[in-house]
Structure 1
Amino acid sequence: MKTLTQAEEEIMQILWQLNEANVASIIEQMPEPKPAYNTVSTITRILESKKFVNYRKQGRGHIYYPIVSKKDYTRATAGKLASNYFKGSYKSMVSFFMQQEQLSVQDLEDILKEMNKKS
């Protein structure tokens, strides 16, 4: 799966939240200062070429919708992070976040509970 730029990911987050939207609706959800219409339109076309979104025509415009789920993208991104920075070890990755104090003992306990549910 291709990696998204920060701008592409921001638009995907909005589309995952809304399920579908035209460019104007995407812009409404973006923080100030809002990007230009043409900028968002260009990014959505890039997302289409990367096979992350598709569209259907509505009047003179397009309604965009995600064809890659947030869960699938998250899984691929986490796997790439583990591979590129932690030699494929999720244990090392979790240990790193704990050492950086970005993951509390309570967070770790919650993760273990979730893992036990799936077992």
Structure 2
Amino acid sequence: MNLKINSRHLEVTPAMRTHLEAGMAKIRKHFDHVIDASAFLIVDNAKEKELRQSAEITIHLKGKDLFAEAHNADLYHAMDAVVDKLERQVVKHKEKIQDHHHDKRFE
């Protein structure tokens, strides 16, 4: 999987990159058909302190794109939250593409 990380108003440190790659490894464990992923880490001057740090990730699957975003006062918590949201979407997508409708007559 190719992971591209962009940022606005902050510099992506190796620790941030490692943390995000570890989270994406959890997603890859559920579903190995991820073609490409792009992350966007943002620090804004929002009035609410809990909305200042945000993380957005877009995953490109075969025939579908999944997107999630999360806001938090801490960027690492925002990255964890967005990975959790994407993990739920990937599991749901995986269940949809699997054929669970067996023909009962042939069993």
TM over 0.5: no
**Larger RCO: 1 or 2 (CA < 8 Å, sep 6+):** 2
Relative to its length, the structure with more strand (as a share) is 2
The structure with the larger Rg is 1
